[in-house]
Amino acid sequence: MGFATDAIHVGQEPDPATGAIIVPIYQTSTFVQEELGKHKGYEYARTSNPTRAALERNLAALESGRFGFAFASGMAAINVLMTLFKSGDHIIAGHNLYGGSFRLFENVLKDFGLAFSYADTTRLDDVTRALQPNTRLLFIETPTNPVMEITDLAAAARLAHAHGLLLAVDNTFMSPYFQRPLEYGADFVVHSTTKYLNGHSDGVGGAIVLNDPSLAERVRFIQNAAGAVLGPFDSWLVLRGVKTLAVRMRQHNENGVAIAAFLQGHPKITKVHYPGLPSHPQHELAKTQMTGFGGMLSFETGSLDNARTILNSVRLCSLAESLGGVETLISHPGTMTHASVPPEERERLGITEGLVRISVGIEDVEDLISDLKQALDRI
């Protein structure tokens, strides 16, 4: 069946007890057993919960995977992924990551003996140069946050597997509607479900989707043992959000294309980072592995003062961290999402003091453009 049909129906069959068309919120910590050693598939809510299980089946199907696991946040999901490895293992990560991922790697996981190197994954020769005998994982974002660089997923998978590595892809920016990395050979897909999957800025969560049964059993064990699971109400919120994922993503994309074009043509903007623009250096690659370009973009204003003027002048766009909600959010990566990245590294990556990021919502695009225009006029 089609994507929108799966989003609405997979894992969300009518409740057998009542016929309710919406999966119930099983707000319970434990489950009564019929007799010693005999239960109905559930024992304790950390181990498994019917609402969470429905979401996990749904997300697995949408990402073309066999196994899905839901966690308390996107960072909890990434932390579980890293827990698959042991002290002394080496991981290559993309050089342009979400600041929270960089913070986890550098300020937490290094203390437990994991080693990290960072490579420009748009240039796979750079990845090859970073390989070490103990390298076990290649971890990438595509598009990257916030300068929207694109990595060739199929080529990255071939390189990783040729060297005995696993490939993990953070697919938060695209959602499975526009990109499904497992179909290109990735071993893991991770998400912050907080973003497009939920879509309504009212819940925090994360997910891992994969195909390999042995790796899935290990993730399942760590999920239960470490316990950073997604609660039933937040699972229900994501299930609700996913039902409209297809129609939302189409509108995010339509608005994103229009706003990117507006900004590119504005005399006060020196650069726009958006893979849907023909001027983007990986535009042609994006067209081959993405079915749309989404609603995430960033643009260069030239200075911190200019960025501040825009951020403090918008009226409809909301100045806030996060992304992927129905409302448009605007932010300053250098002092917000990527503040934990050292200033010299931010500058090298193009995360300048003048860079502004927009998560384009699904409002009337004419209103969004009008809001950005009046803010730009104040520079």
Domains of the chain, by residue range, sit at 3-242, 245-376
pLDDT at 340 (0 to 100): 79
Q: Average the pLDDT over 324-332 and give the result.
A: 98
pLDDT tens, residue by residue, 234-267: 999 999 999 999 999 999 999 999 999 999 999 9
Q: Is 46 a catalytic residue?
A: yes
Q: What is the pLDDT of residue 346?
A: 87
The answer to whether residue 176 scores a pLDDT higher than 90 is: yes
pLDDT of 343-353, one tens digit each?
888 888 888 99
What are the tokens at 306? 């200019």
Q: 195-208 burial by CB neighbour count: b if 16+ within 10 A, else e?
A: bbbbbebebbbbbb
Spelled out in words, what is the top-level CATH class assigned to the domain 245-376?
alpha beta
| pLDDT, the chain, mean | 96
Give the model's pLDDT for residue 143: 97
pLDDT for 374 equals: 98
Cα-Cα end-to-end distance for the chain: 50
Q: What is the pLDDT, as a whole number, of residue 112?
A: 97
**Matching residue, tokens 């009542």:** 18
Query: Could you give the CA distance from residue 123 to residue 151 in angstroms, rounded to a whole number?
Result: 8
Name the active-site residue from 6, 42, 46, 240.
46
User: What's the pLDDT score for residue 344?
Assistant: 86
- Long-range contact set of residues 44-50: C-beta below 8 Å, sequence gap at least 24: 45/229, 45/232, 46/224, 46/227, 46/229, 47/224, 49/229, 49/231, 49/232, 49/235, 50/23, 50/24, 50/26
Q: Which of 52, 136, 180, 195 is catalytic?
A: 195
Phi/psi for 309 (5° steps) reads -60, -45
What CATH fold (topology level) applies to the domain 3-242?
Aspartate Aminotransferase; domain 2 (3.40.640)
- Which of 98, 118, 177, 274 is catalytic? The answer is 98
Question: What percent of the chain shows pLDDT beyond 90?
Answer: 91
CA–CA dist 140, 170 (Å, integer): 6
The one catalytic residue among 26, 118, 136, 170: 170
pTM: 0.96
Measured CA distances, 74 to 81, 196, 272, 321, 355 (Å): 11, 12, 27, 14, 24
Q: Is 195 a catalytic residue?
A: yes
Using CA atoms, how far apart are residues 47 and 52, in angstroms rounded to an integer? 10
The verdict on whether 177 is a catalytic residue reads no
Q: How confident is the model at residue 177 (pLDDT cuts 50, 70, 90)?
A: very high
Q: Which two tokens stand for residue 169?
A: 């892809």
Which of 12-21, 30-39, 358-367 has the highest average model confidence (pLDDT)? 358-367
